[in-house]
A and B are shown apart, each in its own frame.
Chain A
Amino acid sequence: MSEQEQINEVLATDYQAGFVTDIESDTFPPGLSEETVRKISRMKDEPEFLLEWRLKAYHHWLTLETPEWAHVNYPEIDYQAISYYSAPKKKTDGPKSLDEVDPELLRTYEKLGVPLDERARLAGVAVDAVFDSVSVANTFQDKLAEDGIIFMPFSKAVHAHPELIKKYLGSVVSYKDNFYAALNSALFSDGSFVYIPKGTRCPMELSTYFRINAANTGQFERTLIIADDDAYVSYLEGCTAPMRDENQLHAAVVELVAHDRAEIKYSTVQNWYPGDENGVGGIFNFVTKRAACRGVSSKVSWTQVETGSAITWKYPSIILQGDNSTGEFYSVAVTNNMQQADTGTKMIHLGKNTSSTIISKGIAAGRSQNSYRGLVRVGPNAENARNYTECDSLLMGDQCGAHTFPYIEVKNPTAQIEHEASTSKISEDQLFYCKQRGLDADDAVSMIVNGFCKEVMRQLPMEFAVEAQNLLSLSLEGSVG
């Protein structure tokens, strides 16, 4: 077998999270109108201000066109053919404890490696599990509440803390921001809400696990995280979906706010179903993630490991408003078969002495397309802003593509901007070298790729680094020989 054939073989591996949970659910019929928006709001018994906001977003969305600047290709989405809400049927008003959660759902998360029971407690990670359009379980809420930390499904927070929602929702990503953000603002169903009070260090990792189960549904989740003065939180999200021949839409919005000296670490392991080797099926992942470093000396870092989705359109960004604030973006994006990823970040320097770091590692295999798109903007008042950008691409085989689109706009002459980029291939020399030392092709590829991504992987919380490494190996398995 030639090296190329072996590469192809390593890449040809099954998606492990592709099963479907057989559960009864309440699902809206397909279709999108003002009534759909009202119905979602009604289902959740939302206060008037939120419905009004949703409706404004909806009417704004109607005026927008699908963005076409990304380096991705896909058939036009028929927004009338999608169902906008699906939730497992429940007897009561929502589970109060794990005992009330449908065991079928618990088993689903167990199978996905996200146990919600006692063992999860040992791991010291609080989990919010979102299944299609609703949160189905939320662990450690009470324990966290002792420290004044709020970690709950968005739909609950709307009732429990309407003043916070009112104050922060849309304050980082306005519903006018872009096509998908407007769509999300009108239709979002659930997600997580986190508030860390002044001077509090969140004692455990918080995580939300998103699962799309229902066919033909869109998932529009909304996450809002606020770290008040001197607070710290590390948050992780994970995502999977069953294997289906139809594409499914996922359009999330995540907003982060860091006040004075606060720090938010946000990590993503994105493993939505990527479609099969011919590009049939898979998730369309159109996500708007943005953080505001509002306070002085605040810090936000985004770390993402993106292995899934048929199409990824995602630019976790940071607005560095506070003086001396810091933004970091660490990304590994793997595309295989027919996957397309257009991902990167925006660092907007507004305050003085702000600094940002961008490390992006793109790995393309099969016939996939992998693009980095990044903007570094330095405003006129941002004295002494600094940015360091490094984006590296690794190609496996000769049928895939890697692209970089860096944009730099500097309006203050004191700025220091550094940009480095490289493109390399896993060489036959490297593979043969590893094999000559006794490693088989899969182990060799996984070792070389993990070496390539090391700077990013070590940013992940320990608990998830191992999972992410395995995922990398799995998604590239069969890609060489």
Chain B
Amino acid sequence: MRGARGVWGWLLQRVTAVGLAVVLTVHLYVLHFAGEHAVLTVADVSVRLRTLTFILVDFGLLAFALYHGLYGLRSVILDYTTRESTVRAVTVGLWALGSIAFVYGALALLLLIKG
């Protein structure tokens, strides 16, 4: 399909939107509505994070939010220029930024999981 560009990027943005709706709902429900509303300690969070569900929810939240947010930022930047070289530079730069942020966030989560 000659001329088509950015199709998968856009599709992933839609997929992460659905993902975010799911994991954010779980996240907010667990945080604000489920169980007793006692003050949580780091140890409590750590215990909760050791279950597969919460590992998936929290890593999912991290990945989806990063992709969705950075894709939005890219869209704002591209509103001002669609020059091929700039688009490439912006895309590479934001992937790098997103990857670093993901590793950083993942390390923080792993620390919590270890307790």
Whether chain B is bound by chain A comes out as no
